Structure 1
Amino acid sequence: MKNLFLILTLTICFDCFSQETEKTEIAAVEVVVNRFFESLEKQDTVLLKEVAFMEGQIWTVNNTVSPARHRMRYFKDDLKTFQSKNTFQEEAYKIDVQIHEGIAMAWGPYEFRLNGAFSHCGVDVFTLVKNEGNWKIINLSYTIDKEGCEELKSKK
């Protein structure tokens, strides 16, 4: 009976430790995603390089035209746009994070403002990998929408 109690206690402790580790990793992914938004707003190339691989891809699906237009560029291409006089602000509503063995996905609706004015909304999908103990973005895919923004916002 003592052995059964010991095994049961250890199993519960391992499960609790596992859940805490997962919460810590989810929080770490969220920090990287939020720092990406910060790099965009501050046009901070050093911060962008900290959170994303410059050879990583950015895919857009522009739903404001028919048919939808797809475009790909690299994070390093965005370094040039950071020298713009425009201001960029992206607000993510709710980020859902999934993690498995050194790879993570963060998905969430957002609203984008250019020079303080509403530009568009959509959904961001970040793919991250754990590199030398830190999460780093290797891919960002997002939609560009003008319609359905209130519906996306309600998914907060």
Structure 2
Amino acid sequence: MKHLLLPCLLLAATPALAQKPASETEAVKRTIQTFFEGMRKGDSTMVRATLAPGAVFHTISTKSGQTQLRPENPAGFVKMVGTPHKEVYDERITFDKVLIDANLASVWTPYEFYVGSTFSHCGYNSFQLVKLAEGWRIAHVIDTRRKEKCK
């Protein structure tokens, strides 16, 4: 009888496992997907809702053969997204790596950026997210930008 107790307990726990909420990895991905969905829709409210207070944006570029780190203004980005424009801003990403420890997530996403159907540039994004009371929010984004050698 003792030998049957453990299998019965494991089977009884199976339904509880099936009802487990979405994984933290999926929740992190959803935040980033919402950020880009808001950008495509021109919905600044949607984009702003994905950002942590004090979020920081940077871009890495090369000018005259010199690598430069340029700060980007998150408020300016949100305003640009919400300002009416003819073409859709479409950043197409894939999730390469998602790393999570407690309330910190680090996400690496190769991307291609299109204005309407016209290719603009490509590179990689590195997102740092923090889990706040409202859920996962983007605290820092840094990206590379180039026009060739994509992926």
TM-score using structure 1 length? 0.77
Give SS of 2:90's match.
strand
Tell me the equivalent position of 1:91.
Answer: 92
Between Structure 1 and Structure 2, the one with more helix by share is 1
Shift of the alpha carbon at 1:64?
6.5
Of all paired residues, the percent bearing the same amino acid is 28
Shift of the alpha carbon at 1:48?
1.1
Is 1:92–1:108's contact at 8 Å kept on the other side of the alignment? yes
* Deviates most, 61-70 or 108-117: 61-70
Q: Which amino acid aligns with 2:95?
A: K
RMSD (CA atoms): 2.5
Distance 1:135 1:95 in 2: 18
2:75 pairs with 1:76: yes
Task: Return closer, same or farther for 1:136/1:61 CA change in 2, 3 Å cut-off.
Answer: same
Structure 2 runs not aligned, ≥5 long: none
Give SS of 2:100's match.
strand
Q: May I ask how many residue pairs the two structures share in their alignment?
A: 138
2:122 pairs with 1:121: yes
Structure 1 runs not aligned, ≥5 long: none
Is 1:59–1:142's contact at 8 Å kept on the other side of the alignment? yes
Tell me the equivalent position of 2:66.
Answer: 67
Distance 2:63 2:84 in 1: 23
Distance 1:65 1:43 in 2: 33
Q: In terms of Rg, which structure is larger?
A: 2
Give SS of 1:136's match.
strand
Shift of the alpha carbon at 1:93?
2.5
Is 1:55–1:76's contact at 8 Å kept on the other side of the alignment? no
User: Deviations along 1:38-65, whole A, 9 cap, x unmatched?
Assistant: 1111121111121112521110011465
* Deviates most, 27-36 or 59-68: 59-68
2:144 pairs with 1:143: yes
Is 1:64–1:145's contact at 8 Å kept on the other side of the alignment? no
Distance 2:136 2:101 in 1: 12
* Deviates most, 114-123 or 72-81: 72-81
